[in-house]
Amino acid sequence: MLETLERETPAPGAPRVGLTGPPGAGKSTLLDALVRTLRPRGETLAIVAVDPSSQQSGGALLGDRARVRSGAADEGVFLRSMAARDQLGGLAEATRAGVTILAAAFDRVLVETVGVGQSEVEVASLVDTLVYVASPGAGDLLQFMKAGVLEAPDLFVVNKADLGPAAERTAGELAGGLGLGERRDAGWTPPVLLVSARDGAGIEAVAEALGAHFEYLSAGGRLAGRRRRGVEAWLLRALETRYGSYGIEQLGGETAVRGRLDEGASAFAALAHLADEIEETLGKPR
């Protein structure tokens, strides 16, 4: 079913937006504000909240459910929380499957993930536009650079602007840092926006920036390229999670694996085929 969906979803398909950033920055509140801005325009929205740390408590997820509440009785808004404990094949595999299905059914898919560790890397390869949400006083330039948050995001949102000048300082640090390092995409300078998700201030500008970035990607075939690279990265990680680097060696190395991903073929089918091949070399019964 996923295969069919992937092939039949007309290009370019629904925009996929990732929100990352430290806990408490206001990602869920921002999502809530975005829903309230985009939904009245007639856009349908799916939200996937990924919480890899949520093993038993579920507290954060319940909090998110309560907060992202605008669409509680609205069929045009879908909210799904995914926690590590639910997933047999790994959170990244389940998340991609979920996002692929939702992208076929909704006008836009928004993925929230905590900006720590592997989940952030994974969401970057899953979405078209990556948004980094920071709160005031989140750090100075050196801290942002050390944390490696400057390279991947396509848009920076400094939330809680209602708290005063600290938000402007954080925005300044981020904007200043963007000119320094290598960018993932040299043709796009990520905007740095000040918002108050709580008050709904600056949310229109966020919606506009999301639209502008998706348009930028759609022009000149950049979108297809980015999605392809995202699938490659996902496929390599999925194989590595299951079989270690040994598995990828059995297939002839990373470049060989990338080459096996035919244009238009389903990522899930590719993973299944390649996993079968590795298992054959391992001599395991299937």
Ligand X SMILES: Nc1nc2c(ncn2[C@@H]2O[C@H](COP(=O)(O)OP(=O)(O)O)[C@@H](O)[C@H]2O)c(=O)[nH]1
Which residues here bind ligand X, judged by CB under 6 A? Answer: 21, 23-29, 67, 159-160, 162-163, 196-198
Give the integer Cα–Cα distance in Å for 121 and 115.
Answer: 9
Which of 28, 44, 70, 250 touches Mg ion (CB under 5 A)? 28
Stretch touching Mg ion by CB under 5 A, among 7-15, 22-30, 100-108, 159-167: 22-30
The distance of closest approach from Cβ of residue 179 to ligand X in the complex, given in angstroms and rounded to an integer, is 26
Which one among 6, 32, 43, 64 touches Mg ion, defined by CB under 5 A? 64
- Give the CA-trace dihedral at 222, 104, 106, 197, to 10 degrees: -50
Residue 159 contacts which entry, ligand X, Mg ion, none (Cβ below 5-8 A, type-dependent): ligand X
Give the shortest CB-211-to-ligand X separation in angstroms: 22
Contact window for Mg ion (CB under 5 A) among 12-20, 24-32, 70-78, 92-100: 24-32
95 near Mg ion, rule: CB under 5 A: no
Specify the 3-state DSSP secondary structure of 167. Answer: helix
Phi, psi of 45 (to 5 degrees): -135, 135
Task: Let me know: does 48 contact 82? Beta carbons within 8 Å.
Answer: yes
Residue (117 or 253) nearer to ligand X, CB? 117
Residue 250 binds: one of Mg ion, ligand X, none (C-beta under 5 to 8 A by kind) = none
254 alpha-carbon distance from chain centroid:
23
Question: What DSSP assignment string belongs to 53-80?
Answer: T-SS--HHHHHHHHHS-TTTT-TTEEEE
Task: Give the CB-nearest residue to Mg ion.
Answer: 28
Minimal distance, residue 28 CB to Mg ion, in Å? 3
Q: What are phi and psi of 68, to 5 degrees?
A: -85, 80
- Specify the 3-state DSSP secondary structure of 205: helix
At its nearest, how many Å lie between ligand X and the CB of residue 64?
A: 6
Q: CA gyration radius for the chain?
A: 19
64/120 with CB nearer Mg ion:
64
Q: Measured from the CB of residue 159, what is the shortest distance to ligand X in angstroms?
A: 5
CB contact at 8 A, 29 and 159: yes
Q: Where do contacts with Mg ion occur on this chain (CB under 5 A)?
A: 27-28, 64
